[in-house]
Each structure stands twice: as structure tokens, then as C-alpha cells.
Amino acid sequence: MKAIQIKQTGGPEVMELVDLPVPQPKSNEAVVKIQAAGVNFIDVYNREGRYKAPLPLVLGQEAAGEVSALGSDVREVAVGDRVAYTMALGSYAEYAAVAADRLVKIPAGVGEREAAAAMLQGMTAHYLAHDTYPLKKGETALIHAAAGGVGLLLVQMAHNIGVRVIATVSTEEKAALARAAGADEVILYTQADFEAETKRLTGGKGVDVVYDSVGKTTFDKGLNLLRPRGMMVLFGGSSGAVAPIDPLVLTQKGSIFLTRPSLANYIATAQELQQRAGAVFGMIGEGKLKLRIEHVYPLAQVQQAHRELEGRKTTGKLLLLP
């Protein structure tokens, strides 16, 4: 089978298209013939070595496809089932062996590409809005990178709850996408200081929560925008890692909260995984959550996909097609 493998960490050029044997399932695994694989910043972190994994490594942590083989103990799925998964390495390939209890069956009416686009980013947006800081009607949220993959979904979920959404983006095109997703105010951080503008928009009161996937370039200013006992949710670092922080700063800025969550901890059990994925697929089926699959690449063009993702040139979801 064709797969994208790295033998060393580094830039996009370390990713190679290679031929590997089709994986054989262990007793608790199913083999998935992959129809579409998601491209996410976590893949960049694995490729760079920011997140450690043994080498050589087949990249990718999100995919959808059809079950082609089963291990001896698998009861959760059957050969021929349409399934999706995330947080299991090896999805940049034609086949992957995945623990069966991490697979989610794709409901009727949702395609494989949609499922691949919804698993990591959809469930991330869901836990951010419903669990990390459970949004309530009438609250105000600042969402950075609002036209990105998670951003567009998080804006929609917050809007559906009845939250006032202040979104930051880099271009007019991205601003239009954020507004269409339900953002009430959009700040072009390339043209205005988002800290001053957010303070103006909130009358100096600040926001209830900041959702920050950008990190280094936005974090410090974001802390200044929280109301007393508000929450900074740092869930990524597309601009680089945030410097260490003295906990006393949280006191000085109003007894604010800081969390650095990860999807893995919000789908830790099979039950929570099924519930969260089911909620996301339900929103898609009801038309409450619209996916934007903006860029689709053949597996061989993975270097281009990573360069465009890292260059902040993309909106919505990126998929690789084996």
C-alpha cells in the first residue's frame, strides 16, 4: 500500500511516499480501507518532533473509510461498515489498523469525506464549547483563527447556543467566512489591534472565554481580555509555543483560569467517544453544523498540504485522498 512516512523529524520535505505492507489486525483491531484522511496541526507537531512518536512513522491521526478485515476479538464493527476515527496514528495511507473500540460508525446521510472532516476538528469544537468552558446563552467568546478548521465549527456551535462571538481573522475573505458561520464581530488582526478592539467592543468588560489555537503571538494579549474569573482555553500553537507563565499572573488579571486541553482527554473512554461523535454527526445531519472542505489533495501532494496549512493559507478542512 501507499503511505506517507517520515524517517526523521523536520520540515514538509521529510515526508516521503513509500510502499508498505497492508497492516494485519491484532485481535482487538479492525483494518480500515481509507477513503479520506484529515490533515491537522497535530500532524505538523508530529512531523516537527514537537509531539514525540517513534520513528519511522506514518503520519496522520484522522480518517474515514470501510472496514476490510477484523481481529479475532472484534465485536464492535463488521467488514463493510463505514467508519471514522481520530487520535490513532497512521492515517496518511491506503489502509490502517485501528483499535475497534476507537471506531465510530458513520450514519446514513454523512459521506466519508464529511466524516473525515468532522472527527478531530468537529469533536474538538464540541468539547471546547460544551465541556472545557460550557458556553451559555448571552455570554461573549473571543475565537482566534475563526476561519480555520476548528474555528469555523466552533463559531457555529457558539452561535447556535446564543453566544456573542468576537472572531479574529487575517483577511477579508476569512472575515466573510467567519460572519457566515455566525460571528457577531470580526476583527482583522492584520489591520487592527485585537486587544484594543475587543476592549472597545465589550465596553472594557472583557469576554467570558478566549479560545486560542494560535498561541505565541496572541496569548498574552488574550489574558488581558478576560473578565474576572474568565477562562483562557489554549488548545493549539500555530504561531509557536507559549512561554512559561507564573501562576501569580492569573491572580493579577482577575483570578482567571487557564487550561491547555487535548481532544484525547475528552474522548478517553469508548462511551464518551461515541457520544461526542454522535453529537457532532447529529448536528451535521440536522444542518446545524456546516463543514467547509476547502482543499482536497492526492496523497502524493502531502508536502503542499502541510506548507499551505502552516502558511495560514487555508480555510476550513484539508483532506488527503489515498
The verdict on 150 and 256 lying in the same domain is yes
Coarse DSSP helix, strand, coil percentages of the chain, rounded to the nearest 5 percent: 35, 25, 40
The verdict on 7 and 112 lying in the same domain is yes
| pTM, to two decimals | 0.92
The Cα 32–Cα 63 span in angstroms is: 9
The Cα 180–Cα 108 span in angstroms is: 27
The verdict on 150 and 115 lying in the same domain is no
Establish if 281 belongs to a structural domain. Answer: no
Establish if 142 belongs to a structural domain. Answer: yes
Establish if 270 belongs to a structural domain. Answer: no
The last residue of one of the domains, among 243, 260, 277, is 260
Phi/psi for 234 (5° steps) reads -95, 110
The verdict on 116 and 142 lying in the same domain is no
The verdict on 189 and 246 lying in the same domain is yes
Q: Give the chain's length.
A: 322
pLDDT tens track for 268-321? 999 999 999 999 999 999 999 999 998 999 999 999 999 998 887 777 799 999
Contact by Cβ (8 Å): 206, 199: yes
Establish if 228 belongs to a structural domain. Answer: yes
Query: Would you state the cell numbers that stand for residue 274, as one nine-digit string?
Result: 461515541
The verdict on 97 and 184 lying in the same domain is no
The Cα 165–Cα 105 span in angstroms is: 32
Establish if 42 belongs to a structural domain. Answer: yes
The verdict on 203 and 97 lying in the same domain is no
In this prediction, residue 294 carries a pLDDT of 83
The last residue of one of the domains, among 260, 277, 306, is 260
User: For a pLDDT cut of 70, what percent of the chain falls above it?
Assistant: 100
Print pLDDT tens along the chain (322 aa).
999 999 999 999 999 999 999 999 999 999 999 999 999 988 999 999 988 999 999 999 999 999 999 999 999 999 999 999 999 999 999 999 999 999 999 999 899 999 999 999 999 999 999 999 999 999 999 999 999 889 999 999 999 999 999 999 999 999 999 999 999 999 999 999 999 999 999 999 999 999 999 999 999 999 999 999 999 999 998 888 899 999 999 999 999 999 999 999 999 999 999 999 999 999 999 999 999 998 999 999 999 999 998 887 777 799 999 9
The verdict on 205 and 302 lying in the same domain is no
* Residue 202, domain CATH: 3.40.50.720
The verdict on 56 and 20 lying in the same domain is yes
The verdict on 314 and 212 lying in the same domain is no
pLDDT tens track for 214-248? 999 999 999 999 999 999 999 998 888 899 999 99
* Residue 108, domain CATH: 3.90.180.10
The verdict on 70 and 148 lying in the same domain is no
Q: In the chain, how many domains are there?
A: 2
Establish if 279 belongs to a structural domain. Answer: no
**∠ at Cα 242 (231, 135), nearest 5°?**
20
The verdict on 81 and 173 lying in the same domain is no
Establish if 277 belongs to a structural domain. Answer: no
Establish if 296 belongs to a structural domain. Answer: yes
Domain assignment of residue 200, given as a range: 136-260
